[in-house]
Amino acid sequence: MKDTLLSIKRQLSNLQTKVAYFEDDRSVARELVEYIDNTGPLDDEKTGIFKNLILKMRKGSYTSALATRAITSLVEGAARRYVREIARDFDPKAWYSMFPASVRRLAIESVVRTFEEQYAGGELDWIVDGVNLTSKISKQMKITFTDAEGYDVEETVEVPTKRALCPTCDGKGTTVNPAVDSHGISPEEFAEDPDFEEAYFRGDFDVRCRECGGEKVIDNIDWETLEKTDPELAKQVREHEDRRYQMEQETRNEQRWGY
């Protein structure tokens, strides 16, 4: 029992320390919105909501009130999850005090405003029709594999592919310049330089995504189709991909240790 009470006190202390960092309601709201953007399941939920709102925009039935209702559940769910992740088995009603109605309202307004601004700028078209993730195409690629006699062979082959949202930029086409945040940025650094924080989240340091070249999608090998249509080629391509992965790992290790 004593250990349990000590654990709860530690959790409460951690939560209070986190809350103390924020200066005002807007800071707390901004933290919650950033949490949504950087938490995969929540960001996916937001994308789904945006998709429905885009369709309503195009039908002429969109209203800000409608968007507010849709995003309210997202923000409240994020608030609950945020508190659980910080305080673990903390009081389930703690999110009410950490994220009161005034803060949640600011967060909701921020997400709605972001949606409306990005929709007006055409930045959200990919969610509905800018990217056809179901289309299947093919591409040529050079592969190196070991033949039946044990020799390394290099050939240009054609493999089936399917499109997927770029994992590096999450389908946005841009990322923050690695020179700016590859080392990581702490909340304290943002607190010390509010102008830098504002510029960072405004996208002033964004550059074209290196992986997709700004196209928002990449072509992944369609292994299911390849293995069904040409098992031998699938084996050769897998061998090539394994070799490439091992070489990349070795390069990263050498860079890490300064070789």
| Residue among 124, 88, 83 nearest 103 (CA) | 83
Could you tell me if 167 and 211 are in contact, meaning their C-beta atoms sit under 8 angstroms apart?
Answer: yes
Over 50: is that where the pLDDT of 5 sits?
no
Q: How many domains does the chain have?
A: 2
Same domain assignment for residues 146 and 252: yes
Say what the alpha-carbon torsion angle 97, 95, 31, 109 is, to the nearest 10 degrees: -90
pLDDT at res. 73 = 92
Same domain assignment for residues 243 and 218: yes
Structural domain containing residue 162: 136-171+209-257
Give 171-189 pLDDT, tens digit per residue: 778 888 888 887 778 888 8
Last residue of a domain, one of 108, 127, 146: 127
Same domain assignment for residues 31 and 69: yes
pTM over 0.85: no
Q: Name, in order, each residue with C-beta under 8 angstroms of 153's C-beta and a sequence gap of 6 or more.
A: 144, 145, 146, 147
Same domain assignment for residues 81 and 54: yes
Last residue of a domain, one of 127, 147, 182: 127
Same domain assignment for residues 29 and 95: yes
Same domain assignment for residues 93 and 10: yes
Determine, yes or no, domain membership for 235. yes
Same domain assignment for residues 222 and 157: yes
pLDDT at res. 136 = 62
* 37 burial type by CB count under 10 A (0-12 exposed, 13-18 middle, 19+ buried): middle
Same domain assignment for residues 147 and 253: yes
Confidence of residue 90 (pLDDT cuts 50, 70, 90): low
Determine, yes or no, domain membership for 192. no
Confidence of residue 13 (pLDDT cuts 50, 70, 90): very low
Give 22-67 pLDDT, tens digit per residue: 458 888 899 899 989 888 788 889 988 998 999 888 888 899 999 9
Same domain assignment for residues 117 and 141: no
pLDDT at res. 16 = 45
Give 93-146 pLDDT, tens digit per residue: 788 888 899 999 999 999 999 999 888 887 787 777 655 555 567 778 888 888
Determine, yes or no, domain membership for 193. no
Over 50: is that where the pLDDT of 21 sits?
no
